[in-house]
Amino acid sequence: MHWANLNTVHWAFSDGNAGARLTTFYNHPSKLSKIDWAAVASTDFRDAKVKEGKQAEFLMFDVFPWTLIEKIGTINSTMATKVKTALTSVGHQPVIDIEPSWYF
């Protein structure tokens, strides 16, 4: 949000899948409480309400600079090595960590 505001890029966030009919969009940080943070953190999203809440999104209009990526989480060391290899010639180097808990 900070970068987008400084660079006059329109942004919004949703409380669910941005392509879903019943999703609501917000464009002020004071509305972050509208996100179901328990659903976002959940690894069990069989319940439809949790499944929808987990799909909350942050969106920026027409641009998302690569330099804003701070970290890439991979499932294992094999994938981490592949990502590191793919990014060798790229100027911006985000942290690449093995994060198996991100995958479920």
| Domain parsing of the chain, residue ranges | 1-62, 65-104
C-alpha distances in angstroms, 59 versus 8, 9, 71? 14, 10, 18
Tell me whether strands 11-14 and 25-26 are parallel, antiparallel or unpaired: antiparallel
User: Over 90: is that where the pLDDT of 104 sits?
Assistant: no
User: Over 90: is that where the pLDDT of 20 sits?
Assistant: yes
User: Over 90: is that where the pLDDT of 103 sits?
Assistant: no
CA pair distance 6, 40, nearest whole angstrom: 27
What per-residue confidence (pLDDT) applies to 94?
A: 98
Round the average pLDDT of the chain to a whole number and report it. 96
Q: Scanning the structure block, which residue is given the tokens 């942050």? A: 58
